[in-house]
Amino acid sequence: MSALFAEQMLVLFLILALGSWLGTLSIKRISLGTAGVLFVALVFGHFGLSVPKVIMDLGLLLFVYAVGLQAGMRFFRTFRSQGIRFIVVAFVTVLVGGLVTVLVAWVWKLPFDLATGLFTGALTCTPALAAAIDSVNRLAVGNSASVSVGYGIAYPFSMVGVVVLVQLLPKLLKRDLKAEEARWREEQSKEMPGIVARQYRITNPNVDGRLVREIDLHRLSTVNLSRVRRGEQVFAATPETRLQLWDIVMVVGQEAEVAKMSVLLGDPTEARMDVNTDVKSVDVYVSEPSLISKKLMNLKIWERYTIVITRIRRQGLEITPTGTATLEIGDSIRVVGESAAVDEFVRIVAGKPARADETQMVTFLVGLVLGVVLGNITIPLSSGLDLRLGNAGGVFLVGLVIGHFGRVGNFRLWVPPAARNITRELGLMLFLAGAGTNAGAQLVQVVQQRGWSLVAAGLVISAVTVVVSLVLMIPGYRMTTLSTLGALCACMTNPPGLGAAQSQAETDLPTVSYASVYPAALIFKILLAQVLVEVLSKVL
């Protein structure tokens, strides 16, 4: 049996399998998730089993890269739309956690590596743990196991505490969550109206006999004509369609924009537009490279394919397809036209069926190369301190930028959601397996030496951070309860907490708030974890 466990690949996959199973176990909706791998690895490490360091490092880079690619889609957009509020919440929360860690380390006489691990565990942030381990290894190679020990001690108490608080806070504050959601829905409908379709009967004589392109709809409103009904026949509304009085046209666009068409076209009507089957509407995912990043006006969709694009859905947002809009890989578009034309266009726009499921590996790998290069650039600070992002921090920031722009130079990057998810989860598990076995070798010894004082230290860091965060968001910014819960879970990078918050909501308000704060909180934690290593190693 001992010879069997000498095979490191067997040990690795056994840790991953058992840890994944442990993570699925749930007690009152609380589960460890991927962190289950860490706790199984701690046990294996205690009995002298290990995972190759190169496997741990590879998992780390894949994980933070995938997180950066995903967060980049919303981070810069959130900063523009929400202003500085979410950035301030994330920054203050993380900074308070760091300051309390310094105080706790000084009072309890903790070594710098163990204190930094408590910080990452109390704020339940695995990427920060990775950055801290990277920084400690640069100072003293091979001495990073105590970081994982601190993380493993503080993590479960912080995770469970935040989940319980999320469930109790609405009752403690005596807030009406349904009323808050109703107000939020009303605000969202004004700020981000969805796309609707409405029929109008043409009664304006100035439109009679004119081509659709001659009307120039986009000069008045960002809408598109989708179909035209004349008598008992329905056909696609193309630029060359000549409109007549009493025609019924379907207009697609945002609610306020569609309403403007009553002035130009005529009265709204509920007349059906499906009286014949020659015209159909189909949703299709874009994967054909020749259509990517080109304006619709330049693609001449109608002239070439005799179909009309009525809406574009990208990353959860609906976009009205005006002439200046572009198509990107992974976009879901709705096309309308005669059956044969639609089928032909779908065949073209979808390209090879497998292409939408393929990752563009050259761009993907170039991003990793640039991240490692960036991570090894040293930034001199005052008082003789040098800051380096490290491989993990550099790769994360490059992933963030590529996730936002979708390219490296002229090379575009498309990572299907399924590929991005498995890269993130598998990378995280590989990293936790390595970090856990390293920490497990010292866990019992450290706990025996310091006892429950380590647990108390982690609880202090977590509790003070949470309280300051809530004070800033509720009395300070007067955020709604559900928005506060989502933002708090993001500040603490606590997905189980988000699940508890979302279970109390009928809308996705907690998730929206979580996604808005999460990228900034993650960046600040990664950077501050490295600063703590540098500072604490010199003052303790």
Tell me whether residue 372 is exposed, middle or buried, using C-beta atoms within 10 angstroms of its C-beta: 0 to 12, 13 to 18, 19 or more: middle
Q: What is the mean pLDDT of residues 357-379?
A: 78
Better pLDDT: 469 or 309: 469
pLDDT of residue 29: 60
pLDDT of residue 96: 95
Do 168 and 198 sit in the same domain of this protein?
no
pLDDT of residue 384: 53
Do 209 and 168 sit in the same domain of this protein?
no
Do 21 and 118 sit in the same domain of this protein?
yes
Tokens of 181: 């959601």
pLDDT of residue 233: 82
Residue 50 is given by DSSP the state -
Do 31 and 150 sit in the same domain of this protein?
yes
Contact present, 137 and 530 (Cβ < 8 Å): no
Summarised one tens digit per residue, pLDDT across range 43-102 is 888 787 878 888 888 887 887 788 777 767 666 665 565 557 888 999 999 999 999 999
Residue 479: HSE in the Cβ half-sphere, 13 Å Cα cutoff: 25
Q: Which of 329-338, 379-388, 465-474, 528-537 has the highest mean pLDDT?
A: 465-474
Is 90 exceeded by the pLDDT of residue 379? no
The DSSP-derived string for 407-437 is EETTEE----HHHHHHHHHHHHHHHHHHHHH
**Mean predicted lDDT score pLDDT of the chain:** 78
Q: What is the mean pLDDT of residues 139-150?
A: 73
Asked, for residue 387, whether it belongs to a domain, the answer is no
Report phi then psi at 410, rounded to 5.
Answer: -90, 0
* Helical (H) or strand (E) element with 107: helix 85-108
* Helical (H) or strand (E) element with 173: helix 145-173
Q: Look up tokens 């009072």; give the residue.
A: 107
Do 327 and 456 sit in the same domain of this protein?
no
Helix, strand, coil abundance in the chain, percent, nearest 5: 65, 15, 25
pLDDT of residue 71: 64
For residue 410, how many other CB atoms are within 10 A of its CB?
6
Better pLDDT: 532 or 402: 532
Adjacency order of strands within the sheet including 308-314? 279-285, 332-338, 308-314, 317-319
Do 42 and 148 sit in the same domain of this protein?
yes
Summarised one tens digit per residue, pLDDT across range 254-282 is 777 888 888 888 888 888 776 555 667 77
Better pLDDT: 29 or 290: 290
Do 267 and 205 sit in the same domain of this protein?
yes
Asked, for residue 372, whether it belongs to a domain, the answer is no
Asked, for residue 313, whether it belongs to a domain, the answer is yes
Do 160 and 236 sit in the same domain of this protein?
no
Q: Which of 318, 338, 353 is the last residue of a domain?
A: 353
pLDDT of residue 73: 63
449 pLDDT tier (thresholds 50, 70, 90): low
Better pLDDT: 440 or 537: 537
Q: Which of 70-79, 217-226, 438-447 has the highest mean pLDDT?
A: 217-226
471 pLDDT tier (thresholds 50, 70, 90): very high
pLDDT of residue 413: 67
Asked, for residue 418, whether it belongs to a domain, the answer is no
Do 115 and 208 sit in the same domain of this protein?
no
463 pLDDT tier (thresholds 50, 70, 90): very high
Is 80 exceeded by the pLDDT of residue 464? yes
* Helical (H) or strand (E) element with 16: helix 8-24
> Judging by DSSP bridges, how do beta strands 332-338 and 279-285 pair with one another?
antiparallel
Asked, for residue 398, whether it belongs to a domain, the answer is no
Q: Which of 309, 328, 353 is the last residue of a domain?
A: 353
Better pLDDT: 362 or 384: 362
pLDDT of residue 31: 62
Summarised one tens digit per residue, pLDDT across range 12-43 is 888 888 888 887 777 666 566 666 787 788 88
Do 163 and 276 sit in the same domain of this protein?
no
Count of domains for the chain: 2
Among 399, 390, 401, 404, residue whose Cα is nearest residue 424: 399
Is 70 exceeded by the pLDDT of residue 410? no
Domain that holds residue 45: 2-56+73-172+424-539
Do 8 and 101 sit in the same domain of this protein?
yes
Q: Which of 353, 379, 400 is the last residue of a domain?
A: 353
Asked, for residue 246, whether it belongs to a domain, the answer is yes
pLDDT of residue 386: 58
Residue 491 pairs with which residues in a beta bridge? none
What is the model's pTM? 0.61
CATH number at residue 325: 3.30.70.1450
pLDDT of residue 165: 87
Contact present, 215 and 264 (Cβ < 8 Å): yes
pLDDT of residue 161: 78
For the chain, the residue count is: 540
Is 90 exceeded by the pLDDT of residue 445? no
Do 166 and 221 sit in the same domain of this protein?
no
> Judging by DSSP bridges, how do beta strands 317-319 and 308-314 pair with one another?
antiparallel
Distance CA 35, CA 528 (A): 22
Better pLDDT: 486 or 74: 486
pLDDT of residue 388: 63
* Helical (H) or strand (E) element with 69: helix 53-82
> Judging by DSSP bridges, how do beta strands 248-254 and 317-319 pair with one another?
unpaired
Contact present, 224 and 251 (Cβ < 8 Å): yes
Asked, for residue 177, whether it belongs to a domain, the answer is no
pLDDT of residue 177: 78
Return the percentage of the chain with pLDDT > 90, whole number.
8
Distance CA 402, CA 522 (A): 17
Amino acid at 238: T
Is 80 exceeded by the pLDDT of residue 507? no
pLDDT of residue 382: 59
Is 70 exceeded by the pLDDT of residue 229? yes
Distance CA 170, CA 488 (A): 13
Better pLDDT: 141 or 360: 360
Asked, for residue 184, whether it belongs to a domain, the answer is no
C-alpha angle 483-489-494 in degrees, rounded to nearest 5: 155
